[in-house]
């Protein structure tokens, strides 16, 4: 999210930054949240990350971006204080953005409102207490479209989710 600091008063800039930081820690409490798909694997973080990207590309998804969220926060820990920037103890946290030309074409020809689905994003993270336990989490397309009034919404949401989840699971291996 781009923030034009010249337009926001200083206190509001800080508030926006704190809200963004808080949102990155929400994933640790996602158990039981129907909006999130969550998957656990064991392994070496860089290796699993590479398998994820290779697998998505092999399944005809295009990687549109990658963000090392943990490094970004660490590089700015002076904003919050060295003892507060990582209070829950995460180790790695990386977001991978990816898209499908097929899904883009399909949803764009139904309703442009669904263009919000692409690119998809999966976040991978580990905790310092268990560096071999990797969590992958994403917002479920089926959940986002289940209450859409369009008659094809639920069907399209399920189809997209099954293909994305299948590609991720095949890429990173069996879950725990």
* In-domain check, residue 124: yes
pTM above 0.95, yes or no: no
Per-residue pLDDT of 20-69, as tens digits, reads 333 333 333 357 899 999 999 999 999 999 999 999 999 999 999 999 99
Mean residue pLDDT across the chain: 84
- Domain span holding position 77: 10-172
* In-domain check, residue 5: no
* In-domain check, residue 4: no
CA distance 81 to 7: 25
Top-confidence residue, 9 or 16: 9
Which pLDDT value is given to residue 30?
52
* In-domain check, residue 1: no
Per-residue pLDDT of 16-33, as tens digits, reads 333 333 333 333 335 789
* In-domain check, residue 53: yes
**CA-closest candidate to residue 140, choices 29, 56, 30, 1:** 30
Handedness of CA 73, 75, 80, 84 (dihedral sign): positive
Domain count, the chain: 1
82-86 mean pLDDT: 82
* In-domain check, residue 58: yes
* In-domain check, residue 115: yes
For the chain, report the end-to-end CA distance as a whole number of angstroms: 33
Q: What CATH number is attached to the domain comprising 45?
A: 3.30.310.70
Which pLDDT value is given to residue 48?
98
* In-domain check, residue 2: no
Residue 132 binned pLDDT confidence (cut-offs 50, 70, 90): very high
Residues paired with 62 in a beta bridge? 99
């Amino acid at each position: 999210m781009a923030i034009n600091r010249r337009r926001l008063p200083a206190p509001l800039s800080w508030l926006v930054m704190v809200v963004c930081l808080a949102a990155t820690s929400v994933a640790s409490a996602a158990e039981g949240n129907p909006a999130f798909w969550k998957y656990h694997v064991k392994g070496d973080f860089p290796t699993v990350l590479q398998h994820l990207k290779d697998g998505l590309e092999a399944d005809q998804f295009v990687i549109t971006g990658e963000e090392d969220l943990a490094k970004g926060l660490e590089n700015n820990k002076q904003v919050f204080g060295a003892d507060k920037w990582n209070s829950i103890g995460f180790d790695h946290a990386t977001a991978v953005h990816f898209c499908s030309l097929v899904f883009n074409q399909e949803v764009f020809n139904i309703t442009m409102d669904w263009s919000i689905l692409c690119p998809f994003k999966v976040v991978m993270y580990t905790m310092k207490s268990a560096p071999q336990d990797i969590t992958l989490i994403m917002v479920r397309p089926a959940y986002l479209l289940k209450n859409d009034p369009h008659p094809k919404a639920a069907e399209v949401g399920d189809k997209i989710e099954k293909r994305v989840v299948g590609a991720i699971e095949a890429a990173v291996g069996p879950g725990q």
